Structure 1
Amino acid sequence: MRIYAFVARDCYNRSGGSAGNFQPWFRLGKFSVSNTRNKFMAIGCDTYAVINGSRGTSYTTGCMSLCDSTRDVVEGSCSGIGCCETAIPRGVMDFEISVSSYYKHKKVWEFNPCSYAFVAEEGTYNFSTQDLQNFKGGHKMPRVLNWAIGDQNCSEAKKDLERYACMANSECHDSNNGPGYQCNCCKGYEGNPYLGCQLGCHFTWNYC
């Protein structure tokens, strides 16, 4: 499941006074944030960003990004010079993002008045030097949530056949990122496993 969610920002004027600060939080009732499809990223040359959560997996992580000039920045690189990124753990159900600076951007204000931080779907953002002056991502970025059924694993769910969601010719798989389970068609079958899978036209054999 793909959604759009807010970007954190921390901006300053030429003299180091605050020109806007936004620290978003994100909470999920049933879905977890995909740890394999998303990255935590921060943009800026006077920037440190932290993400932490307590529901599902309890964690704190972050990264910092520093540079003195756009000459130091590598276009498209997110290795810590103008842009940094890090992974998030499995089972994340909520988080808060905080982003700040060491010197209130006074040393880099001419080309970088703001810091930004966000969780985004991997591959949807490519760092550009121009983002230091005017972040093209806007106020929201896409992120991917893991979809799963309920809060039971497969062995528990199969005990209640009236509520068990995997239909004919499908098999159950425990969610690898948080609670619940998912259904897939057996090999050789295709269709919707929650309605019932049919023998695929390209196969003459099948099994679960």
Structure 2
Amino acid sequence: MNTSADDGSAGQAGYRRSAGSPRGEARRRELLDRVTDDLAVNGLVDFSLRRAARAAGTTHKVLLYHFAGADDLLRQAVLKLRERRTVNAMAAATGGPADRTLADRVHAMWPLLSGDEPHLRVLDEAIGLAMYAPERFAWLGREASRLYLPSLVSLCPAGWSDQRKLEVAEMILGTLRGFLVEWRISRDAAGIAAGFEALTRALEREEADGERPPVAAPTS
């Protein structure tokens, strides 16, 4: 991935920025949609402001009028892709009978997370990039958590405390991320199915248990 300074990642002080007028905001959304569509198809490799400008049918100077630079544009495009994924996954999780268990809801989300559509692979690439260069791209992982956790919390039983909902949502998020990495690198469907069995048992125990006091976080 290339988001170098000569592509507008830094030193944009000479460019006038959009003032946020209704017309300017509509244009910004239009450009962002085009860049997001390009990112969904072509991925993060070689992403740059100039590539984004070609995809949007404009110039990099026009993009710098509406966005703070390549990293800002990438951040917003990735967020739009994640929102699409989250909406689809939550629709699968919340549809169907109202008495479905939490484990059933998590299972229903999996096909919408692990598909081979290009935009889904891009989102998994983004997590890999956050691990590869955390000093610059850690936000790709942090923002994913901020987006996904509230949705997972909302799937938990209403009677649970906020702390317990957060604990279980964190467990689900971490486990599904692990399954996604395993799926992308090994295609070990049998192994993931076995892992889901263990996750199902854990979630069933959580739903069967009464309210418990929160467990203190590790101090190491």
TM-score category, normalised to shorter length: under 0.3
Q: What is the TM-score with the length of structure 2 in the denominator?
A: 0.26
Higher-strand-fraction structure: 1
Q: What is the TM-score with the length of structure 1 in the denominator?
A: 0.27
Larger radius of gyration: 1
